[in-house]
Amino acid sequence: MSDALYVILHHRDDKTHKYRRPQYRNHWRDDERVQSISTTPHVANECKKERAAGKIVYVYRCPWKNIPSIISCAVRVTKISGSQIHPIVHFADVKAFSPRRTTAKQRLLARSSQSSNCYRQSARVVGHGAAMKHEDKEAPRMLTESEVIASVCRFLKKNRFRVTRFLSETERGIDIQALTPDGKQHVSIEAKGETSSKAGSGRFGKAFDSGQAWDHVSKAFYCAARDCSIGLISGIALPKNERHVKFVQKILPALKQLRIEVFWVLPNKRVETEQIWRMWDTGANKRGRRTKANRLRP
């Protein structure tokens, strides 16, 4: 089990965050490399342990405006100065990472650590009054609308649908358009995500709240019902999380009555359905057998 320490810092040009106070000033060499940080006694103590063990500390830089979040550099702790209340941690051997050099696991750790100034795998670490406990396991990642669309398109293709058009989350219109396996009927699917992919958005990297999830389900249901009323086979695609499931379950009888399919996209991007479309019984299985409920060739 690994035991790497991640220090969470805001971009040096970000003057809006709540820790932009004299006692929490950070000194940067450039946009990627940090020279020293002013922090809390607890974070300083964690850095002291890394120095004693001769280990590398990783710096996660939060997103700012249109600049994405990254693991910006790897450092070694050289000394800790300042007072006991407001210690200053100094770094050396600073090696900058480009976004391409950060591993998938490092990016996942970065996304899951934005609420704390200091993060350690398999340990409880407090940073600026925020506490978090994280086991050395990959937490479920949040899906953007584009990822939901891409996952459902792959699922449709594997089940012999022909995807004729799909949109990005910045485009307006029907998110996914396709033809049924026999090519006789048109399909429309409205998709929603569970977080924003826009770096400048207030919800970037954060899960949509309950009100936003309700809004997503409501709008998706409206679009699907609209398309259903003009003769299209319609569906909605959503990330499978507690909030979306709760709201969908409340309107599931209406969805079944209108024959609007529900595509659930899991964190690993596999797709499940509510088996509302009748074509699943015959169209998705060449041998004519009924496919297992909620699990059509993901």
Give the separation between CA 240 and CA 266, rounded to whole angstroms.
5
Whether residue 1 is predicted with pLDDT greater than 50 in this model: the reply is no
pLDDT of residue 255: 94
Q: At residue 184, what are phi and psi to the nearest 5 degrees? A: -100, -20
pLDDT digits (tens, 9 = 90+) for 71-93: 888 899 999 988 888 889 999 98
pLDDT digits (tens, 9 = 90+) for 190-224: 999 887 655 455 555 566 778 888 988 999 999 99
Give the tokens for residue 62.
């939060």
Count CB-CB contacts under 10 A for residue 124.
9
Question: Greater confidence, 120 or 169?
Answer: 169
pTM confidence score: 0.50
Whether residue 134 is predicted with pLDDT greater than 50 in this model: the reply is no
Give the model's confidence band at 126: pLDDT under 50 very low, under 70 low, under 90 confident, else very high. very low
Distances (CA, A) of 267 to 108, 239, 263, 289: 12, 8, 13, 28
Question: Greater confidence, 42 or 160?
Answer: 160
pLDDT of residue 4: 78
pLDDT digits (tens, 9 = 90+) for 231-287: 999 999 999 888 899 899 999 999 999 999 999 999 888 999 998 988 765 444 443
pLDDT, mean of residues 173-183: 91
Whether residue 32 is predicted with pLDDT greater than 50 in this model: the reply is yes
Give the model's confidence band at 230: pLDDT under 50 very low, under 70 low, under 90 confident, else very high. very high
Longest CA pairwise span in the chain (Å): 75
Whether residue 144 is predicted with pLDDT greater than 60 in this model: the reply is yes
Sign of the Cα torsion 150, 152, 153, 157 reads: positive
Whether residue 18 is predicted with pLDDT greater than 70 in this model: the reply is no
Q: Which domains does the chain have, with CATH numbers?
A: 5-134 (no CATH), 145-282 (3.40.1350)
Give the separation between CA 180 and CA 198, rounded to whole angstroms.
33
pLDDT of residue 213: 87
Give the separation between CA 39 and CA 23, rounded to whole angstroms.
7
Give the tokens for residue 63.
């997103």
Question: Greater confidence, 95 or 67?
Answer: 95
pLDDT of residue 103: 52
DSSP string for the chain? ----EEEEE--TT---STT-SGGG-EEESSSS-EEEEE--HHHHHHHHHHHHHT--EEEEEPPBTTBPPEEEEEEEEEEEEE-SSSEEEEEEEEEE--TTTS-HHHHHHHHTTTT-SEEETTEEEEETTEEEEE-SSPPPPPPPHHHHHHHHHHHHHHTT-EEEEE--TTS-S-SEEEE-TTS-SEEEEEE--SBB--TTSTTBTSB--HHHHHHHHHHHHHHHHHHHHTT-EEEEEEE--HHHHHHHHHHHHHHHHHT-EEEEEPTTS-EEE---STHHHHTS-TT-PPPPTT-S--
Whether residue 179 is predicted with pLDDT greater than 90 in this model: the reply is yes
